[in-house]
């Protein structure tokens, strides 16, 4: 049996929607599919202020442009994340301060945040790893106490919640991804949710190259002009046509992912060989990732090799940013790296996508157990 680690899930309407874009001859951004996608996304995440972008990377960069950050300002985030989370702020001349994670969730350890705050700290970026929520009450309290901007890297979080609130709508900004590896996708794509109408208006100008073109399109001004710094942050109608049909089927897609996640959890729980992913009581995830943790990096490599020989694709995830040559030079890890490196080297992601069958899952689990029983 061949079980690929990932395969983009299609609902079946994507080709017909692409054909409509070609027929309408509106290929650029801010067309009818962009509008309908924003409406669908607003319904899902329950946010009044949303912009679509070409990627989550673009979303993070737009957020960094939206705030009046100065060279030398500091931002706190976990080192266990993708490079885009840090790059967006390095591009603005900010200093990155990394702190350790909680091993259970691989999310930032909120109890360590205040130790990293200085007079130059301006923002905190949290990453909800695998669509599992950080401790947002605690982090919100810290941000309000120190007057800090709270940014959620919610790249993996469509249909994930902290208590009753959708992830990406709790902080000042929430950045989402619709990359082909995500639950809902359009090949490449992203979005931003704003909690302030003023932040939304500011971003509307920045995303249109620093102009008030949106006001011109809405008939509010007779011409548009250069208003601020900016860049191009609009996805094309080809992207949003695919995104539209994915968003309309968001509940169906999420339920399928959760069905797979729960089956893995049921079969692999309570074993004496490896740890499995744990979900805090305050978090309602979306089944984006299912991971196990081996004893060490060597065991993980051997397991990857064994599963690959049996037709099963697996993957580990981020290399901690502070452990890279670039990150070591340009960023700073505050406090002890107790779990970030150690647990990143033990984590292994199993196949999870909407194309998996029950037989696929049973096969994967049986081979995982076969590997460990051979070791005994």
Computed over its alpha carbons, how large is the radius of gyration of the chain? Answer: 21
What is the per-residue pLDDT for 214? 86
The overall average pLDDT reported for the chain is 96
Report yes or no on 131 lying in a domain.
yes
Q: Taking the C-alpha atoms of 159, 171, 55 and 244 in order, what is their torsion angle to the nearest 10 degrees?
A: 40
What is the per-residue pLDDT for 376? 63
Q: Does 228 share its domain with 256?
A: no
Report yes or no on 106 lying in a domain.
yes
pTM of the entire predicted model: 0.96
Evaluate the CA torsion angle 41, 78, 317, 276 in order and state its sign. Answer: negative
Query: 123: pLDDT confidence band, cut at 50, 70 and 90?
Result: very high
Quote the number of domains for the chain. 2
The fraction of the chain above a pLDDT of 70, given in percent, is 100
270 vs 74, more confident: 74
pLDDT tens digit sequence for 178-212: 999 999 999 999 999 999 999 999 999 999 999 99
Report yes or no on 28 lying in a domain.
yes
Report yes or no on 7 lying in a domain.
no
Report yes or no on 8 lying in a domain.
no
What is the per-residue pLDDT for 363? 98
pLDDT tens digit sequence for 227-265: 999 999 999 999 999 999 999 999 999 999 999 999 999
Query: 375: pLDDT confidence band, cut at 50, 70 and 90?
Result: confident
Give the other-Cβ count within 10 Å of 48's Cβ.
11
Q: Does 118 share its domain with 259?
A: no
Q: What is the CATH number of the domain that holds 200?
A: 3.40.640.10
Residues 155-177: what's their mean pLDDT?
98
Q: Does 176 share its domain with 36?
A: yes
Q: What is the CATH number of the domain that holds 316?
A: 3.90.1150.10
């Amino acid at each position: 049996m061949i079980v690929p680690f990932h395969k983009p899930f299609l609902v079946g309407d994507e080709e017909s929607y692409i054909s409509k874009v070609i027929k309408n001859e509106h290929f650029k951004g801010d067309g009818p599919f962009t509008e309908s996608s924003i409406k669908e996304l607003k319904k899902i995440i329950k946010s009044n202020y949303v912009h679509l972008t070409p990627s989550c990377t673009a979303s993070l960069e737009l957020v960094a442009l939206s705030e009046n950050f100065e060279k030398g300002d500091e931002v706190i985030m976990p080192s266990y994340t993708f490079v885009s989370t840090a790059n967006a702020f390095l591009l603005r001349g900010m200093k990155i301060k990394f702190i350790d994670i909680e091993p259970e969730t691989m999310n930032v350890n909120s109890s360590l945040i205040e130790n990293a705050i200085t007079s130059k700290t301006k923002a905190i970026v949290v990453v909800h790893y695998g669509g599992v929520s950080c401790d947002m009450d605690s982090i919100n309290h810290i941000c309000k106490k120190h007057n800090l901007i709270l940014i959620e890297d919610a790249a993996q979080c469509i249909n994930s919640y902290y208590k009753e609130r959708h992830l990406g709508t709790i902080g000042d900004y929430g950045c989402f991804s619709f990359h082909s590896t995500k639950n809902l996708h359009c090949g490449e794509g992203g979005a931003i949710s704003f909690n302030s109408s003023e932040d939304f208006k500011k971003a509307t100008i920045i995303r249109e190259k620093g102009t008030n073109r949106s006001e011109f399109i809405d008939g509010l001004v007779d011409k548009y002009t250069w208003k601020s710094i900016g860049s191009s942050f609009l996805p094309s109608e080809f992207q949003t046509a695919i995104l539209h049909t994915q968003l309309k089927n968001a509940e169906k897609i999420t339920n399928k992912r959760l069905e797979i996640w729960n089956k893995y959890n049921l079969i692999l729980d309570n074993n004496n060989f490896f740890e499995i992913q744990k979900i805090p009581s305050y978090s309602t995830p979306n089944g984006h990732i299912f991971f196990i943790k081996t004893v060490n990096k060597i065991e993980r490599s051997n397991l990857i090799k064994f599963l690959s020989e049996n037709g099963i694709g697996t993957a580990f995830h981020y290399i901690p940013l502070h452990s890279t040559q670039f990150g070591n030079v340009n960023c700073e890890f505050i406090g002890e790296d107790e779990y970030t490196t150690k647990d990143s080297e033990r984590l292994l992601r199993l196949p999870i996508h909407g194309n998996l069958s029950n037989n696929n899952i049973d096969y994967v689990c049986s081979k995982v157990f076969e590997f460990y029983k051979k070791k005994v």
